[in-house]
Amino acid sequence: MSTMSPVSLTTENDIAIITIDHPPINATSHAVRLGIWDAIDQVNRDDAIRAAILICAGSTFIAGADVTEFGKPPIDPILPDLILKLEQSTKPLIAALHGNALGGGLEVALGCHYRIATATAKLGLPEVNLGLIPGAGGTVRLPRLIAVENAITMITGGKPFNTTTAHDFGLIDEIVDGDLRTAAIALAERIKNTPCPVALIDRAPVNAPDADAWDALIAGIGKKARGQDAPVIAARTIRAAVTGDARTALGLERENFIRLRDSDQSKALRHIFFAERSVAKLPELAGVAPRTIAEIGVIGGGIMGAGIATAALLAGYAVVMIERDDDACERGIANVRHHLGGSLKRGIITQSRHDQLLGDLVSSTDYATLADCDLVIEAVFEDMAVKHDVFAKLSAHCKSDAVLASNTSYLDIDAIATACTHPERVIGLHFFSPAHVMKLLEVVRTRLASPATLATALAFARRLGKIAVPCGVCDGFIGNRIMSAYRKHCEYMLEDGSLPSDIDRAMTNFGFPMGLFAMQDMAGLEISWATRKRLAPTRDPNERYVALGDYLCEMGRFGRKNGLGWYRYDEHGKASPDPVIDELVIAESAKKGIKRRPFSDAEIIETILSAMQAEGEKILAEGIAHSPDAIDVVMVNGYGFPRHKGGPMHLKKTA
Ligand code: NAI
């Protein structure tokens, strides 16, 4: 091993400790692979060594591949060969895991004879999230260690598991409470004189499903994947690995891995993965310190306010919620309690944490309660007069350097800011519903916003675990503006010959979780109706206007909430096309003298994409978004654009 190697070998009596120290994530870079290779040679050569431990320095075990090696020709030793070598070691190997043991990291651990992990470690094979499958034996070895069905869940779902689940599955031998290294040495002492367990590659699969069960499993995965190839190919690769010879299966896995790596879907998924990680990094903010935030104010405890308060509580902030009267205060608290109850039920928080978080929330009608807040987020009715009134009170009662944010969907935040004292601290924080769940957050820079205000908002977003997308002030910012643009074209298609269910079907076939009209029904139709009424006086009379959405609201059809919208909903909330709507649409075409014609799915999607891309170009030209990546991140994370297609701007670039 060279002195520069990120891998070192030390001994503790007759136990070798192989330490990987390759910050930040101990990725399986070439130097790491080579270092482990040499260390294993040394362990097997040295008669004084009876067992070896593979452990990492820093905050994590090997957390994945080295992304800088992506797309470059592989240099020996490649990871699959290294793992075969680990497996063939004549001295028992123990993988000691902490932090994230993901992707190639977990595959390395599968090459070892024993695995132990700290209680907080996460284990997973997340390759499908990048349109890939494990490429170093994961599909072959995992179903020979844990039940095939669990291996399928882990590989096709791509979600990491905690150590409790990993232990239940049999993926790890021990959960370590104290010091990992000490526990690994203790285990090594216990097993050093016993023969190596049979390598996973030579074991039989655990509880393999029969042929019928396989067909059903793969069909289910295909349905859930909504057009994404990797989960289905992963399942088929596991099936081949379980039903056939394991060593042959390694070759097939590699072939499938390479095929997927070069696919459009993987390129799109990698594009969005990197875009999400770079979109909030603004060069002009280098060296600008965010303000310290401890206490958050939220104005309004309705749908958004309660979600925002929940998100802030979960991130560890104390929250003051302001409402109009005592009843509304109680409703606001009940809304937050409901959300936190959901987090408790899903195992995201414990009962004691739940109770503590509720204790961190106070509700009041008195704006003076906001005196200590460092950041206040307004989420009251979408009405300019109400917003102005609220911001006047915030100007009067908050600290002069408290950041004041609005969650408005469409209103002009510049106008709100200029009416405030210290307008440089006003910003837009446009959350998506449900705010404690949805990852996207548009951070809207007002004209006068100071760099410190923006840096504070971005730091707050990061602490909430959000994907923050900086954008400028305009009607609808990035996402709602693009949605308005393509909605218009969908409405044109209604008048020209489509029905809502035609457009929605084309969209779901393309990979959206739901179509535009189903989504509108879910969000409620009256907010956009109010916006249309607000904009009516400034509407260009020469521009084509589709009034169908207005008719629905006039008919009292507000969407899913009252069982009638573009669709009708049964008592279980199941949607079905409504002949009343079809007749309304067809009658409107007749009224306007439009001869209806059929639209194919491809034509519908082409129309939608062109509308998104054209509006995206305008948004870029106006500087509302700083890059096409920002637009893709918004559309994928807030508007259901299929992730494996990379976003509308990515599709335009690669068309
Ligand atoms: P909502 O109607 O559910 O809640 C508004 C709350 O504000 C009500 O509880 C009301 O009592 C309270 N309120 C009204 N005036 C107040 C005042 N002067 N002082 C204190 N509290 C007051 O509305 P929702 O849906 O939560 O929307 C709030 C804001 O968030 C709007 O600006 C909306 O455009 C925006 N927004 C809504 C989204 C959604 O999906 N619903 C998504 C993103 C933004």
Task: Give the Cα separation of 627 and 78 in Å (integer).
Answer: 36
Asked whether the beta carbons of 109 and 95 are under 8 A apart, the reply is yes
Question: Residue 175 falls within a domain, yes or no?
Answer: yes
Domain CATH for 539:
1.10.1040.50
Residue pair 548/584 in contact by the 8 Å Cβ criterion: yes
pLDDT band at 460 (very low <50, low <70, confident <90, very high): very high
How far does the centroid of ligand 1 lie from the alpha carbon of residue 3, in Å?
Answer: 61
332 CA closest ligand 1 atom index: 9
333: domain CATH number is 3.40.50.720
Whether residues 400 and 548 share a domain: the answer is no
Domain of 89 in residue numbering reads as: 7-262
Note whether 646 and 612 are within 8 A (CB): no
- Rounded mean pLDDT of 115-135? 97
Domain count within the chain: 3
Nearest residue by C-alpha to atom 8 in ligand 1: 302
273, part of any domain: no
Lookup result for tokens 């150590």: 163
Query: Would the CB of 607 count as within 6 Å of ligand 1?
Result: no
* Joined tokens for residue 471: 């954008």
> Is 379 touching ligand 1 by the criterion CB < 6 Å?
yes
Closest ligand 1 atom to residue 431 Cα is 43
Q: Tell me whether strands 295-299 and 375-378 are parallel, antiparallel or unpaired.
A: parallel
Q: Note the pLDDT of residue 110.
A: 98
State if residue 324 touches ligand 1 by the CB under 6 angstroms criterion.
yes
**Same structural domain, 252 and 339:** no
CA distances from 90 to 41, 52, 85, 500 (A): 10, 10, 10, 65
Q: Which residues contact 535 (CB under 8 A, 6 or more apart)?
A: 475
Please indicate whether residue 489 is annotated as part of the active site. no
Question: Which of the four pLDDT bands, split at 50, 70 and 90, describes residue 1?
Answer: very low
Among candidate residues 430, 436, 489, 644, the one labeled active-site is: 430
Nearest CA to ligand 1 atom 4: 302
85 shares its domain with 232: yes
Banded pLDDT at 532 (limits 50, 70, 90): confident
The rounded Å distance from CA 440 to ligand 1 centre is 18
Q: Could you give the angle at the alpha carbon of 300 between the alpha carbons of 296 and 306, nearest 5°?
A: 70
This prediction's pTM: 0.92
Tens digits of residue pLDDT in 57-106: 999 999 999 878 877 888 999 999 999 999 999 999 999 999 999 999 99
Q: Does a structural domain hold residue 103?
A: yes
Least confident piece of the model among 239-243, 492-496, 529-533: 529-533
Residue 259 has a pLDDT of 95
Enter the ipTM: 0.98
Look at residue 68 in the predicted model and tell me its pLDDT.
82
Q: Do 36 and 102 share a domain, yes or no?
A: yes
Measured CA to CA in angstroms, residue 422 lies from 296, 299, 621 at distances of: 18, 19, 29
Closest CA to 377 of 472, 281, 295, 459: 295
Same domain, 244 and 291: no
Both 105 and 79 in one domain: the answer is: yes
Residues 452 and 515 both lie in one domain? no
Pairing of strands 93-97, 426-431: unpaired
Please spell the DSSP secondary structure of 287-326, one letter per residue.
Answer: TPPPPP--EEEEE--SHHHHHHHHHHHHTT-EEEEE-SSH
* CATH code, 18: 3.90.226.10
**Phi, psi (5° rounding) for residue 376?**
-120, 130
- CA-proximal residue: ligand 1, atom 3 (nearest): 302
**Distance in Å, CA 386 to ligand 1 centroid:** 10
Task: Write the pLDDT tens digit of every residue in 416-447.
Answer: 998 899 999 999 999 999 999 999 999 999 99
Same-domain status, 462 and 484: no
User: According to the model, what pLDDT value does residue 3 have?
Assistant: 57
> What pLDDT is attached to residue 646?
98
Average pLDDT over residues 458-484: 96
Please tell me whether residues 22 and 171 are part of one structural domain.
yes
- Segment holding 7, helix H or strand E: strand 7-12
Ligand 1 site, residue 407, Cβ cutoff 6 A: yes
Residue 499's closest CA among 359, 599, 640, 619? 599
Q: What is d(CA 409, CA 412) in angstroms, rounded to the nearest whole number?
A: 9
Predicted pLDDT of residue 307: 97
Name the maximum alpha-carbon separation found in the chain: 92
Assess whether pLDDT exceeds 90 at residue 528.
Answer: no
Ligand 1 contact via 442 beta carbon (within 6 Å): no
pLDDT at residue number 347:
87
Read off φ and ψ for residue 468, nearest 5 degrees. Answer: -90, 130
Give the pLDDT confidence of 575-610 residue by residue, as tens digits: 999 999 999 999 999 999 999 999 999 999 999 999
Closest C-alpha to 567, from 583, 579, 584 = 579
